[in-house]
């Protein structure tokens, strides 16, 4: 609020351009550290800031043309002319135009808009909502799917008059208090800037701060302090003014037709291409491969859905909070609105007592049908039976096997080796119950790490396993390979998230343990033949490649399917991410052949 304090002190106009850090904002269009251009002017209506943006866009286009670009803005096949007069559209008009929804009819009471009415309108156009969705939740579902992709095409769009519940630090509109004096600028379907007619009422600002504090305390158990100097500045008197913040890196990305914001960061920390990985198993491409556009759109949808929950910084999140948020996002997005498969419930013995599990059966299953023990992912901290059920059911049906998916104890409440012990207990139980039917072991992400550890232990104990199936597995905690540097930010799972999970799961003394980092160790004799499925843009890609190569060098069958343009965990989005399906089906078929030949 430093700039607003200066406005209250009598400065008529000011700007700043500075690095900003927002942890958790990572995708092809988001980076945790970015450059923000922010400016304020007193005595100027919001229209004046629209004119400022138009001038800035024209200057950016001219500068890009002088540098050898075409002078237009580009993003994922969309184009906008920075010299064209911006389209000015109210939020309500955008809903009417692009979704055929009368938004204002649901806002008769701006303090309590009608969530049920908006949810019915969403259902009428094929958008599924949860029973407990708030009005804002439904708003963003519609906005992300039907509105935002149409904004800023051909020319910039200025989206005005946001609902009063989304006013933030903007004043309410004098003519219609159901909406706020706030606009956002969109270009090529991307948000570029956010502007407010500044709230000058100190009492109203205190009320909003209090409501925001109460919400965050309710959600996160933390009450953040309010800046007393800012409130004092408001009491002193903030003049009528307007302010705007614009993502400068994103503007440069559009003007230069860059595919990822990382390509245009001002003063980047390092150039990954200048530091190739030392080991030959790592990726050899000179530059990071781009995400498939549909994968990028999916990651952005996940990011925005998470952001709408107002999560605290990752470092402040408890394991329980992260689990709840992860489950909510997967239910909303990965499940495709159809809910999680449930399978057949049962309990398994473990060192900590009975653990729940689920069984998924393919059509026509009988006593000789192979079994696959499948472990869900989640960094050893999050995840659960619901979250793993989509992939477990797919493996059962696609590979013709019965799938047993057990729960296991999660960190930080139960650090290493609790999950390993539970996985081994489930494996021994299944071996005893299989009655001679082949048994395979599979897992996704951290579950892939559990599967790899179980495969090692089985080989060391000379217990035959038909096959392994490691999907986007986490197999290395001691070093960062080239895929960590290429895909460690902006591709879904990032290196900061990996570090957060690792810290909660295992102590540094055990980072190199064969059950924690199997990619660092030669496989034992008798290791099962193993199929790997990885995304081409997966931060964990190279450790899977290294482990597959290690198996081959030891004379053990290993087949690896790589899905170009796919991020970490893409098979878990099989219902909604069509471009990844052919690669998942290919890996499923390889695994099924291994089972059939067992």
Please report whether residue 281 resides in a domain: no
Is residue 309 pLDDT above 50, yes or no? yes
31: pLDDT confidence band, cut at 50, 70 and 90?
Answer: confident
pLDDT number for residue 279 = 44
CA angle 172/173/177 to nearest 5° reads 70
- Domain range for residue 492? 317-596
Please report whether residue 126 resides in a domain: no
Report the CATH number at residue 589: 3.40.50.1820
Average pLDDT estimate for 1-22: 86
235: pLDDT confidence band, cut at 50, 70 and 90?
Answer: confident
Q: Do residue 247 and residue 338 come from a single domain?
A: no
Please report whether residue 564 resides in a domain: yes
Nearest Cα neighbor of 41 from 4, 70, 69 is 4
39: pLDDT confidence band, cut at 50, 70 and 90?
Answer: very high
Least confident of 226-235, 253-262, 287-296: 226-235
Residue 197 half-sphere exposure, CB side, CA atoms within 13 Å?
A: 19
Least confident of 266-275, 468-477, 481-490: 266-275
> Which long-range contacts does 315-320 make (Cβ < 8 Å, 24+ apart)?
315/23, 315/500, 316/220, 316/222, 317/220, 319/381, 319/382, 319/410, 319/411, 319/412, 319/413, 319/504
pLDDT number for residue 555 = 95
Q: Do residue 82 and residue 177 come from a single domain?
A: yes
Average pLDDT estimate for 536-545: 95
Q: Do residue 252 and residue 341 come from a single domain?
A: no
Last residue of a domain, one of 266, 285, 306: 266
Please report whether residue 79 resides in a domain: yes
Average pLDDT estimate for 224-246: 83
Q: How far is CA 401 from CA 25, 130, 325, 580, in A?
A: 39, 32, 31, 22
pLDDT number for residue 272 = 40
Please report whether residue 395 resides in a domain: yes
CB-CB contact of 485 with 271 (8 Å): no
pLDDT number for residue 334 = 74
Nearest Cα neighbor of 302 from 565, 573, 98 is 573
Please report whether residue 519 resides in a domain: yes
Report the CATH number at residue 33: 3.30.930.10
Please report whether residue 136 resides in a domain: no
pTM score of the predicted model: 0.65
More reliable by pLDDT, 261 or 582: 582
Q: Do residue 583 and residue 449 come from a single domain?
A: yes
Please report whether residue 63 resides in a domain: yes
Q: How many domains does the chain have?
A: 2
- Report d(CA 592, CA 84) in Å as an integer: 56
Nearest Cα neighbor of 288 from 250, 260, 249 is 260
Mean pLDDT score across all residues of the chain: 89
Give me the torsion for CA of 596, 392, 468, 523, rounded to 10°.
-170
Neighbours of 572 (CB within 10 A): 25
CA angle 496/323/223 to nearest 5° reads 80
Q: Do residue 260 and residue 326 come from a single domain?
A: no
pLDDT number for residue 386 = 92
Least confident of 173-187, 195-209, 523-537: 195-209
pLDDT tens sequence across 391-406: 999 999 999 999 999 9
Q: Do residue 426 and residue 528 come from a single domain?
A: yes
Q: Do residue 379 and residue 255 come from a single domain?
A: no
Q: How far is CA 253 from CA 29, 259, 273, 299, 419, in A?
A: 9, 7, 19, 18, 43
pLDDT tens sequence across 402-448: 999 999 999 999 999 999 999 999 999 999 999 999 999 999 999 99
Q: Do residue 384 and residue 243 come from a single domain?
A: no
pLDDT number for residue 204 = 85
Provide the token pair at 432.
């005893």
Q: Do residue 360 and residue 261 come from a single domain?
A: no
Q: Do residue 379 and residue 480 come from a single domain?
A: yes
Average pLDDT estimate for 61-77: 93
Average pLDDT estimate for 74-80: 90
Is residue 278 pLDDT above 50, yes or no? no
308: pLDDT confidence band, cut at 50, 70 and 90?
Answer: confident
Is residue 280 pLDDT above 50, yes or no? no
Q: Do residue 343 and residue 253 come from a single domain?
A: no
Sign of CA dihedral 426, 431, 432, 435: positive
């Amino acid at each position: 609020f430093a700039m607003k304090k200066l406005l209250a002190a009598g400065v008529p106009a000011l700007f700043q351009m500075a690095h900003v850090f927002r942890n958790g904002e990572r995708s092809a269009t988001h980076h945790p550290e970015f450059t923000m251009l922010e400016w304020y002017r007193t005595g100027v209506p919001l229209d004046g800031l629209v004119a400022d943006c138009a001038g800035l866009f024209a200057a950016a286009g001219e500068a890009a043309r002088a540098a050898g670009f075409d002078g237009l803005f580009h993003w994922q096949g969309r184009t906008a002319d920075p010299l064209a007069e911006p389209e000015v559209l109210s939020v309500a008009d955008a809903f009417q135009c692009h979704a055929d929804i009368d938004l204002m009819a649901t806002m008769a009471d701006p303090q309590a808009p009608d969530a049920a009415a908006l949810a019915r309108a969403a259902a009428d156009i094929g958008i599924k909502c949860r029973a407990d969705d708030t009005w804002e939740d439904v708003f963003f579902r519609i906005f992300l799917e039907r509105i935002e992709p149409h904004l800023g095409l051909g020319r910039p769009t200025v989206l005005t008059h946001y609902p009063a519940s989304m006013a933030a630090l903007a004043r309410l509109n004098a003519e219609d208090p159901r909406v706020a004096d706030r606009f956002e600028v969109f270009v090529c379907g991307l948000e570029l800037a956010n502007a407010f007619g500044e709230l000058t009422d100190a009492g109203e600002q205190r009320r909003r701060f209090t409501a925001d504090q109460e919400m965050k305390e309710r959600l996160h158990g933390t009450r953040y302090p309010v800046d007393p100097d800012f409130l004092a500045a408001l009491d002193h008197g903030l003049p009528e003014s307007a302010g705007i913040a614009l993502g400068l890196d994103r503007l440069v990305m559009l003007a230069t037709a860059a595919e990822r914001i990382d390509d245009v960061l001002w003063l980047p920390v390092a150039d990954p291409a200048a530091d190739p990985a030392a080991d030959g198993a790592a990726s050899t491409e000179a530059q990071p491969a781009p995400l498939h556009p549909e994968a990028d759109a999916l990651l952005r949808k996940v990011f925005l859905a998470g952001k709408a929950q107002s999560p605290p910084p990752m470092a402040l999140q408890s394991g329980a909070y992260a689990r709840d948020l992860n489950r909510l996002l997967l239910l909303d997005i990965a499940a495709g609105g159809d809910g999680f498969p449930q399978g057949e419930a049962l309990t398994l013995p473990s060192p900590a007592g009975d653990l729940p599990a689920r069984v998924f059966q393919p059509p026509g299953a009988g006593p000789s049908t192979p079994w696959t023990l499948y472990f869900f992912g989640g960094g050893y901290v999050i995840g659960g039976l619901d979250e793993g059920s989509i992939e477990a059911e797919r493996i059962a049906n696609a590979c013709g096997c019965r799938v047993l998916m057990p729960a296991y104890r999660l960190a930080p409440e139960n650090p290493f080796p609790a999950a390993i012990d539970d996985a081994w207990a489930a494996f021994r139980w299944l071996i005893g119950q299989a009655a001679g039917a082949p048994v395979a072991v599979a897992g996704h992400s951290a579950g892939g790490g559990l599967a790899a550890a179980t495969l090692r232990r089985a080989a060391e104990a000379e217990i035959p396993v038909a096959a392994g199936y490691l999907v986007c597995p986490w197999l290395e905690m001691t070093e960062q390979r080239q895929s960590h540097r290429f895909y460690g930010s902006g591709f879904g799972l990032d290196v900061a998230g990996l570090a957060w999970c690792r810290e909660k799961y295992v102590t540094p003394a055990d980072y190199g343990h064969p059950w924690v980092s199997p990619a660092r160790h030669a496989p034992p004799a008798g290791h099962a033949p193993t199929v790997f499925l990885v995304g081409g843009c997966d931060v964990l890609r190279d450790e899977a490649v290294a482990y597959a190569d290690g198996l081959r060098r030891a004379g053990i069958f290993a087949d690896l399917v790589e899905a170009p343009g796919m991020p970490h965990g893409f098979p878990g989005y099989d219902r909604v991410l069509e471009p990844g399906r052919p690669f998942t089906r290919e890996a499923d078929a390889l695994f099924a052949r291994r089972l059939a030949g067992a």
